[in-house]
Homo-oligomer: A and B are copies of this chain.
């Protein structure tokens, strides 16, 4: 598969997080920060309401990489994340990964990872490094 990977290849998905998914991630991660779980706390915060865990949203990059680009068998080597704007429960986000570099010596690729919402507000940006599955 690595042979067909080219700079500019891109995969995209959209997702809307529910109340239940936020609670589920709180269980998995142990992150019960009231900024994510408590309506009153969220209302009093700088965001005006509670927000989806950034690391839950970032999990969508794992989904795109593991399922689409480069796809099943991929091995995640690294991920940088900058959280630029909050995601609220019910927000629809668009997540994309795009190959920016393909190593010639090994099946290792670098991807730009981006999550936006609404009319293009950047939610998360960053970069992933992935070992592509054998061709």
Tell me the A residues contacting B by CB distance below 8 Å: 13, 15, 21, 24-25, 27-36, 41, 45-46, 53-56, 58-67, 72-83
Give Cα A27–Cα B23 distance, bound, in whole angstroms.
13
Copies of chain A in the complex:
2
Are A30's CB and B55's CB within 8 A?
no
Are B24's CB and A28's CB within 8 A?
yes
Which chain B residue shows the least CB distance to A80?
B80
Known: A24-B28, A55-B59. A33 touches B66 (CB 8 A): yes
CB distance from A104 to the nearest CB of B (A): 21
Beyond known contacts A25-B28, A33-B66: 13 more, CB 8 A cutoff: A28-B56, A29-B63, A31-B59, A33-B72, A33-B74, A45-B73, A54-B79, A55-B58, A55-B76, A77-B82, A78-B80, A79-B81, A79-B83
